[in-house]
Chain A
Amino acid sequence: MRIIIVIFYFFLYLNNLNATPMADQEIIFKNLRCLVCQGQSVADSNSDFAQTIKLVVRDQIKEGKTEKEIYKFLIEKYGEWIVYKPPLNKSNSVLWLFPYLIFIIGGIMIFLLLKKRPNR
Chain B
Amino acid sequence: MKKKLIKTSIIIFFLFITIVFFVGLNKSSIYDTKDLVGQRLNNISLDNFNSDLKITEQDLKKNNYSLINFWASWCAPCRDEHSFLLKLNNQNNISLLGVNFKDKKDNALKFLEELGNPYDSLARDEFGKNSVHLGIYGIPESILINKDLVVIKKFIGPITEKDFDYIIKTIKR
Contacts and interface: CB of A to CB of B under 8 A. Distances in A.
Interface in A41-69: 48-49, 52-53, 55-56, 59
Contacts of B22: none
Contact of B132 (A36, A53, A81): A53
Given A77-B36, A79-B35, A49 B127 contact: no
Interface size grouping (class) on chain A: 10 to 19
B127 A55 contact: yes
A77 B129 contact: no
B135 interface: yes
A74 B33 CA distance: 12
B150 interface: no
B43 to A, nearest CB: 10
Given A77-B36, A79-B35, A49 B129 contact: no
Interface in B66-88: none
Nearest to A51: B128
Contacts, number: 40
A42 B128 CA distance: 15
B104 interface: no
Contacts of A59: 129
A18 to B, nearest CB: 24
A49 B133 CA distance: 13
19 contacts: A52-B102, A52-B129, A52-B131, A52-B132, A53-B132, A55-B128, A56-B129, A56-B132, A74-B132, A77-B36, A77-B132, A77-B133, A77-B134, A78-B137, A79-B31, A79-B34, A79-B35, A79-B36, A80-B35
Given A52-B127, A55-B129, A77-B135, 9 more contacts: A35-B31, A48-B128, A52-B132, A76-B39, A78-B33, A78-B35, A78-B137, A79-B31, A80-B35
